[in-house]
């Protein structure tokens, strides 16, 4: 299942500031897509109460959650919001425990137990405990902390690869080791510092994790995290384990791109403009015969368009197919000469030709 944290992790992107209108649109779009949980923000964030009031009537089956530090005072604030879930973050590596919290392992576990117990006493029904920097933590200690959280009332443990240093094999091993010891839900939060985030999220879900965090376009601190559009599409199109309404993902990606000031590379998986564009002669010819030869799924599934153009990489078959697509008879053309002219003009323009440019070459 998918936890979208665009408005918590994603909002930590350097220079990103989402207006209330943008935040509301992102949430309602995610609800329409069918995301299982949306992390709306963090305790103390401006406008959190207003956002909750605006989106709560539309949430349907989507669970709404907020993030809180491992502090009783913040948990008390969280209990007043009326959200479905509270995600408590707690550093678990010795480096963070010592240098960030100024305590030791015993002090950390005492704080964790006290905070989770307080959340339960305040009536928070679903408490999630995120173990931050778990990939650099002592594994036995991290597992003991997870068991403690479970024993004092946590409903979920979230494993955070906070620096993105795991690979899919490491992630699978880590998740499996926790899943076999816990009886509560298990989630992962995978950062993308080495480009592994989406792969790690999928590996985790395949190895016993119940949830994976993601954000639209993968935005977040530093290189960001797993991408919502990638994880949701893979689970829907490849594994067929979920049925997210992925047709709306590209529009949402475009909106978040503008709102956050993050350009979408034209080859970006799922969201890119040219992911179904083809100029290569071999591929273009194959696509004209059977698209599944070089497409992992039908572009219609994500609301994309197939674009086949002729240019400097095109051969005879691609040019003939372009003629037939335009309703012209290839027999009426000097194909070798036309192919040479197409390639020459494309190299001069440094791009594939438009239909108008191709028609002009044919007339000449």
CA of residue 108 relative to chain centroid, distance: 31
Q: What is the pTM of this model?
A: 0.89
Stated as kind and residue range, the H or E segment containing 346 is helix 335-349
Mean pLDDT is lowest, of 1-5, 118-122, 305-309, for 305-309
Q: Which percentage of the chain shows pLDDT scores above 70?
A: 92
Sign of CA dihedral 77, 79, 80, 81: positive
User: Which pLDDT tens digit goes with each residue over 53-82?
Assistant: 999 999 899 999 999 999 999 999 999 999
Q: Place 289 in a pLDDT band, splitting at 50, 70 and 90.
A: low
Answer yes or no: is pLDDT of 351 > 70. Answer: yes
- Mean confidence (pLDDT) of the chain: 91
pLDDT at 52 over 90: yes
Question: What pLDDT is recorded for position 225?
Answer: 98
| Separation between Cα atoms, residue 55 and residue 289, nearest integer Å | 47
**DSSP labels for 158-224?**
EEEETT----HHHHHHHHHHHHTT-SSEEEEEEB-TTS-HHHHHHHHHHTT-SEEEEBGGG-SSTT-
pLDDT at site 346: 75
Please check the confidence at residue 287 and state whether its pLDDT lies above 80: no
Q: What is the pLDDT of residue 11?
A: 96
- Strands 211-214 vs 2-4: parallel, antiparallel or unpaired: parallel
Q: Quick check: 316 pLDDT over 70? A: yes
Is the pLDDT at 281 greater than 70, yes or no? no
In 10 A of CB 34, how many CB atoms? 18
pLDDT in tens, 96-125: 999 998 999 999 999 999 999 999 999 999
- What domains appear along the chain, each with residue ranges and CATH number? 2-260 (3.20.20.70), 277-363 (no CATH)
Q: Which of left, alpha, beta for 44 (phi over 0: left; psi -120 to 50: alpha)?
A: left
Q: Could you tell me the pLDDT band of residue 280, with boundaries at 50, 70 and 90? A: low
Query: Residue 342: its pLDDT value, please?
Result: 74
How far apart are the C-alpha atoms of 143 and 261, rounded to whole Å?
A: 39
Position 324 pLDDT exceeds 70? no
């Amino acid at each position: 299942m998918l936890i979208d944290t665009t408005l918590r992790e994603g909002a930590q992107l350097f220079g990103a500031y989402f207006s209330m209108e943008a935040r509301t649109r992102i949430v309602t779009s995610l609800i329409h897509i069918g995301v299982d949980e949306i992390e709306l923000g963090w305790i103390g964030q401006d406008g959190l109460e207003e956002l909750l009031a605006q989106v709560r009537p539309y949430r349907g089956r989507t669970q709404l959650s907020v993030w809180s530090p491992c502090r009783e005072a913040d948990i008390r604030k969280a209990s007043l919001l009326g959200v479905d879930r509270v995600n408590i973050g707690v550093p678990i590596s010795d480096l963070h425990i010592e240098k960030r919290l100024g305590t030791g392992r015993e002090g950390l576990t005492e704080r964790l137990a006290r905070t989770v117990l307080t959340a339960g006493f305040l009536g928070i029904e679903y408490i999630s405990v995120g173990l931050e920097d778990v990939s650099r933590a002592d594994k036995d200690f991290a597992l003991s902390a997870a068991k403690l959280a479970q024993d004092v009332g946590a409903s979920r443990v979230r494993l955070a690869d906070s620096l993105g240093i795991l690979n899919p094999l490491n992630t699978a091993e880590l998740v499996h080791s926790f899943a076999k010891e816990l009886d509560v839900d298990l989630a992962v939060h995978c950062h993308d510092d080495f480009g592994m985030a989406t792969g790690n999220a999928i590996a985790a879900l395949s190895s016993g994790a119940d949830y994976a965090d993601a954000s639209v376009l993968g935005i977040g601190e530093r290189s960001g995290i797993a991408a919502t559009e990638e994880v949701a599409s893979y689970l829907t199109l490849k594994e067929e384990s979920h049925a997210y309404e992925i047709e709306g993902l590209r529009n949402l990606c475009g909106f978040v791109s503008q709102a956050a000031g993050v350009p979408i590379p034209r080859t970006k998986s799922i969201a890119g403009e040219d992911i179904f564009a083809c100029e290569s002669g071999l591929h273009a010819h194959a696509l004209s015969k059977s698209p599944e030869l070089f497409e992992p799924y039908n572009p219609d599934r994500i609301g994309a368009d197939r674009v086949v153009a002729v240019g400097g990489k095109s051969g005879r078959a691609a040019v003939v197919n372009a003629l037939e697509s335009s309703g012209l008879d290839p027999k009426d053309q000097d194909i070798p000469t036309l192919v040479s002219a197409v390639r020459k003009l494309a190299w001069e323009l440094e791009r594939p030709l438009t239909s108008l440019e191709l028609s002009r070459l044919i007339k000449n």
